Amino acid sequence: MKNKLLNFALIKFFLILGSSQAIANLSDGEWQPQIVEKMYILPPKQLDRVLNNDFRNSSLYLNLKTADDKIKSRYSKIDQLNKSIPQFKGDEQIELKHQVIVEKKEYITDMSERLKIKREHLLTKKRFFEKIKRKTLFQKGNQNFTTQSQFQASREKALQRSKKLDKKISNLLIGNNMSNNSKYFSEYQKTMLAMQKLETKIKSHPKFQENDLLLNSENKLESLNVFIDKLESELSVLALKEQVLTKMAKLVSLDAMELADSLQINISQGNEFKDVNDPTDSVNLFLN
């Protein structure tokens, strides 16, 4: 009897806490990407890889892993309890049902924590990519409008013009037997030849052909947009999962209510209450 009352009190307690704890504010750990600015020039795909490695070293990841482990163990516990309920009757069955409700409530709490950590992870990642996008846009803007870029353009033009003349200069120096007089040009030619070989090799490299993002800011922006869109869709999926979790919490609350009600019925059946202040209940006294 005492046991039943205790169970009833506990169920009522969890009933109150049940749904509110699904959106509880728990400490989730921290993740601040520790990526040096030099890496920002990497193509977004590689940057994502670096970012994921960085995340693995954070306390946020540690908490995510802990939450994952907790959820796994809770899931198997709930499954076991659900399977064993039909094998028992009476108080033991009620106790098992109570255990299931408690475990479900904990499962929802852990899952909510996990979703919160995941959201924080995705938001940090999104903020990071948006920062790089802003930088790329800024650089692109600079390239188009500053005087420095105008100078860069005229320098590029001059370099192209001069490169076209390299063969002519070489012929001129060899023809006039003056190649020894020009120290810089002969060294320059050697270096250019070596660089040309390297450039040909780089251009034929499969990874280079796969993405020319290092050189093309337009492509980099597009790729960053794809990444940000992907992260946004993942965040939307998380919002949907949170809705599922709210429904789960509601169901657990209803289960708890049902169990509480069934316990109350049992208590009132075992303890038929007579109100002596009511004359109709006291009639029997006068009939004897």
Partner 1 sequence: MRNKIMLTLMMIMSMLSGVEAGTVENLERVRAKTITMMFDKNINESQRAEKIEKLKIKLLDMEKIVLNDSNLAKNPTNKTIKAFETFNFTFLVHSALEKDKPISINWLEDLGFTSDNLKRTQAYRK
Site for partner 1, rule CB under 8 A:
147-148, 150-152, 154-155, 157-159, 161-162, 164-165, 168-169, 172-173, 178, 181-185, 188
Nearer to partner 1, 57 or 162 (CB): 162
Owner of token pair 């370099």: 159
Q: Which is nearer to partner 1, 3 or 154 (CB)?
A: 154
Tell me 276's DSSP state.
T
Nearer CB in complex with partner 1: 35/169:
169
Cα gap 126→232, rounded to integer Å: 8
Smallest distance from the beta carbon of 137 to partner 1, in angstroms? 21
Q: How far apart are CB 168 and partner 1 at their closest, in Å?
A: 5
Give the long-range contacts of residues 153-156, CB within 8 A, separation 24 or more. Answer: none
Q: How far apart are CA 186 and CA 213, in angstroms?
A: 34
CB of 150 to partner 1, least distance (A): 8
d(CA 172, CA 166): 10
Q: Check: CB of residue 245 under 8 Å from CB of residue 112.
A: yes
- For partner 1, which is the closer residue by CB, 190 or 250? 190
- Whose Cβ is closer to partner 1: residue 159's or residue 214's? 159
Q: What's phi and psi for 30, nearest 5 deg?
A: -135, 150
Cα 213 from Cα 9, distance rounded (Å): 63
Residue whose CB is less far from partner 1, 41 or 173: 173
Query: Whole-number minimum distance, CB 221 to partner 1, in Å?
Result: 23
Count the Cβ atoms, other than its own, within 10 Å of residue 78: 18
> CB of 145: closest distance to partner 1 in angstroms?
15
Q: How far is the CB of 156 from partner 1 (least distance, A)?
A: 9
Contact 132, 40 (CB under 8 A): yes
Which structure tokens are listed for 75?
């899931």
Token code pair at residue 91: 């108080």
Q: Looking at this protein, which amino acid is placed at residue 146?
A: T
